[in-house]
Structure 1
Amino acid sequence: MPRPIILGVVGDSAAGKTTLTRGLVRILGEEQVTAVATDDYHRYDRKQRAEHDITPLHPDCNYMDIMAQHLSLLRQGEPILKPVYVHHDGSFGPPVYVDPKPFTVVEGLLGYHSEELLDSYDVRVYLAPPEELRRKWKVQRDTTRRGYTTDQVLADLDKREPDSAQFIRPQERHADVVVSFREGNAPEPWALDAELVLRDGLPHPDLTPLVGDGERGITITERDGEMLVNIAGDIEPEQASEIEEAIWEKLHFASHLRSERLGQVTIGNDLKRSESLALVQLLILYHLVTAKAAVALGGEGPRADAAEAAEAEESGKEESGKEESGKEEESEAVKS
């Protein structure tokens, strides 16, 4: 079996990592995906962290070496005995035996902290919502699911801020895709705008023919070699569907994955659809599936191909520079 394709989704606490990955796992099929949460590699439980006065955002609060070792083993197609952290009460559960599957989805706080970790991923995503919105999400989540009071969550956020600034946010520079969901003009609270930064570490699908002048709910601009994509939360479903169709056409070999489950969000007991979330998930799915196809054909994957192309381009520039320099020297010699 070809090696697994590994997706990394990194971001601060309550940045939306699970919401993003849940839809991808549903589309790929739970039987096809190994899910790994890097929170499972915490060194201390909740009580011990308080005693040591350390936050889970600090690398010293995590078994970073074991995390990197396990991701490397999964990439090689080897099983791991994964630790388990229980968020509900901040304790540790018994470890679980994990067999690698065709895809591995890794989400957490410090997934891009070291070069060894970075080398494990085929696709790297970083979530960067506005801090005000992330804080609101964290209060909502931790008070309803993790047994905290609002005052405790706010105090914890303030305590974590120095570690967030030092260890979490700098990881954004390692991402192929940076996603920032933010509140826009849509009346529905789940229909958030999505701002994306697409970097050249991976070859992204060309969406420019579908953009027009920005009146279609999506705009694309270029800045310092990066593509900036803005998707309005209130984009018309017909326009979003047209863009989705264009991406699916590029994934004609994976048509069996087509599903209405992209973009699904649960609000209370109701299931809603966010068009912007669906498009972000489909873009990530595009990279996972194309990487899988490349590896199945014996290649290393799009990241390695892009790196080789960049290296070849740089080498060509150096050779061209040498030729120009040689011509200038010959010209000077003739003049003298």
Structure 2
Amino acid sequence: MPRPIILGVVGDSAAGKTTLTRGLVRLLGEEHVTHVAADDYHRYDRKQRAERQITPLHPDCNYMDIMEQDFAHLREGRAVLKPVYQHKDGTFGAPVYVQPKQFTVIEGLLGYHTEALCDCFDVRVFLAPPEDLRRQWKVQRDCSRRGYSTDQVLEELDRREPDSEAFIRPQQRRADLVVSFQPGDRSDQAHLDAKIGLREGLTHPDLSPFVDDNGGLSLTERKHERSLWIPGDIDPARGAEIEEAIWDRMHFASHLRSERLGEFTVGTELHRSESLALAQVLILYHLATARAAVALGGEGSRTEHRRVPAAAAEQLSS
């Protein structure tokens, strides 16, 4: 049986990791996806962190060695006994036995902090929203779901800033896709622009036919990276056309096609974002491509991996 395909989604607290991955998990099928939160590998609970004056963003506050070991085991298709951190009260629960499925999605703060961790992932995504937007999201989330006051959240954000600068943001350089949702011409959450840095670690689909100056995509290139800009108010028909083109490039995953990409909730209300949908289908393209390459005998779809056997390459391109 082919090994699992591992997706990493890394970013600062409240950067949108869960919103991005929720749609992917729904599309891949929850029965086919193992979800792992890297926060479970915290070394200290909330009370202990306060006593030691350390934030969960600092590597010393996490069992980095156990994280490396467990993620490597998951990539190999081996089960792990995973710790459990409970955000609702900041304590640890009983460990759980985790068996990797076809896909494993790992999200957290420090997933790319070491080379050993990076080597575990087939696809590495980093979320980098503007800081003022991330702070807004964190206040909304922590006040509504985790029992904090606004002042407490803002104070904690300020306290964490040195560690964000030192340990979280530098991980961008190890990502394949750097996704930044940001306010555009319209300020509502359903129409955020998306800037996506496309790095050389993966071979990205060619979207140049959809670049135009009339509200479509824009694409700029510089050394080692292309930057894709998706306007938040892109015409839904144009967005659907681009999605269709990406789906056509992964005919081997046509069974995954769904109309539900781009969905997210605000409170109890369901919304849809074209820019979120396009970001998700790009990530899905890389997951499906990696899955096909591994199934056909290759190491994966990363550019540093050995090429898949000639017969397999022919099947992938046909």
TM-score of the superposed pair, with normalisation by structure 1? 0.90
Quote the residue 2:285 is aligned against.
Answer: 286
What residue identity is the alignment partner of 1:110?
L
* Residues 254-278 of structure 1: CA deviation (Å, up to 9, x unaligned): 1110111100011222211100000
* 1:171 has 2:189 as partner: no
Higher helix share: 1
Which runs of structure 2 are paired with 1:189-268 in the superposition (5 Å)? 189-211=189-211, 213-268=212-267
Q: CA deviation at 1:214?
A: 2.5
Query: Whole-Å Cα distance in 2 between the matches of residues 9 and 187 of structure 1?
Result: 25
Aligned-CA RMSD value: 1.1
Counterparts of residues 1-336 of structure 1 (less than 5 Å):
1-186=1-186, 188-211=188-211, 213-303=212-302, 305-306=303-304
Identical aligned residues as a percent? 69
2:17–2:107 contact (8 Å) kept in structure 1:
yes
C-alpha distance after superposition, 1:239-293 (max 9, x if no partner): 0000000001011111110111100011222211100000000000000000000
For 1:306 and 1:44, the matched residues in 2 are separated by 36
State the Cα distance separating 1:308 from its structure 2 match: 5.4
Query: Distance in 1 between the 2:190 and 2:42 partners?
Result: 31
CA distance in 1, matches of 2:128, 2:40: 22
Q: Secondary structure at the match of 2:191?
A: coil
Tell me by how many angstroms 1:186 deviates: 2.5
Which of 265-274 and 235-244 deviates more? 265-274
* 2:190 counterpart SS class: coil
Residues 282 and 114 of structure 1: CA distance in aligned 2, closer, same or farther (over 3 Å): same
Deviation track 1:109-158 (CA, whole Å, cap 9, x = no partner) reads 00001111011000000000000100010011001101111111011001
Deviation string, structure 1 residues 177-220 (Cα, Å, up to 9, x no partner): 00000011125332210001001110000000121x33142111
Query: What residue in structure 2 maps to residue 324 of structure 1?
Result: none
| 1:190 alignment partner, SS class | helix
Structure 1's unaligned 5+ residue stretches are 310-336
Q: Is this contact kept in 1: 2:5–2:104, CA < 8 A?
A: yes
Question: Is the contact between residue 293 and residue 299 of structure 2 (CA under 8 Å) also seen in structure 1?
Answer: yes
2-side partners of 1:78 and 1:268: how far apart?
A: 37
Quote how far apart the aligned CAs of 1:306 are: 4.3
- Count the aligned residue pairs: 307
Q: Which moved more, 1:17-26 or 1:218-227?
A: 218-227
The equivalent of 1:315 in structure 2 is: none
How far apart are the structure 2 equivalents of 1:216 and 1:162? 38
Unaligned runs of 5+ in 2: 308-318
Partner of 1:322: none
Task: Give TM-score, length-normalised by structure 2.
Answer: 0.95
